[in-house]
Amino acid sequence: MNGSVGPMRVLVTGGSGLVGRAIERVVKKEGEEREGEEWIFLSSKEANLMSAEETRAAFEKHHPTHVIHLAAMVGGLFRNMRQNLDFWRYNVFINDNVLQAAHEFGVVKVVSCLSTCIFPDKTTYPIDETMIHNGPPHESNFGYAFAKRMIDVQNRAYFQQYGLRYTAVIPTNVFGPHDNFNIDDGHVLPGLIHKTYLAKKEGKPLQVWGSGRALRQFIYSLDLARLFLWVLREYDEVEPIILSGTRDVFDIVFLVGNGKADGQFKKTASNAKLRKYLPDFKFTPFRAAVKETCDWFVANYDAARK
């Protein structure tokens, strides 16, 4: 079973964001759209998914058979630290509205997007899919992390009660074209790209926040998009799956310390389950992915989110 019921009408929430734009590029420009598939990319301008009424109206309008659920309130470390309550409430509302509307409108399959920040702060490494609920997440972003964990709880409950094949993916830190390059509230890599751009333009030293000890794994948004298509079409488990490249390629270190918080020290995730299914999947080399992202940011500086 691959969640297919003949023609697929796929609704992508968060369709104008980093991952949504990557999926749109892979589907529309790289020729990955299959015969019998129709793709709708829904932005927040078209529907406020915090509203149950607007969410139902979007499902009534588009009548999807499948959903890729990307919409979320997201932000970098420092915004999470300031707004844990907002991250909890906004995301719980969005996720419940989307999953319940999917159920009410007979959606065959939903693939939601989680994050490695959902894993326990105190754990063993590498982390894997069985460890999500083994302890509390890091205190810096507990609101967002617990809200995302609840998607896994809901998926299991929809399967237990209704037999629905709703599932989720857990990517490591995503980056790529159309990212949020805000220095204060964005994620680490787009923030570094923007800082480097300004330092070079203004002829000033580059200052990198953090202690120099924290580690992160990354996945290029276009690689993630290609994996999303595989999960939607082929992955049959309700249990989530980590989407990550190899540790050796994707770990980097914050380079310079200046007293700023690190957040969770590391979140090194195992991709053993992914490799069991797709042993030959080729990730974009990290340096090439960073260069493509930098080139896009420079070429689209005025329009880029920042």
Q: Omega into 126 within 30° of 0, i.e. cis?
A: yes
Q: What share of the chain is helix, strand, coil (3-state, %, to 5)?
A: 45, 15, 40
- How far apart CA 263 and CA 244 sit, in angstroms, is 20
- Indicate if 144 belongs to the active site: yes
Structure token pair of residue 116: 């490695």
Helix (H/G/I), strand (E/B), else coil: 69: strand
Q: Residue 292 CB: number of other CB atoms within 10 A?
A: 16
- How far apart CA 303 and CA 306 sit, in angstroms, is 9
| Residue tagged active-site, from 144, 158, 166, 235 | 144
Structure token pair of residue 214: 């924290």
Structure token pair of residue 136: 């509390």
Where in the sequence numbering do the catalytic residues fall? 144
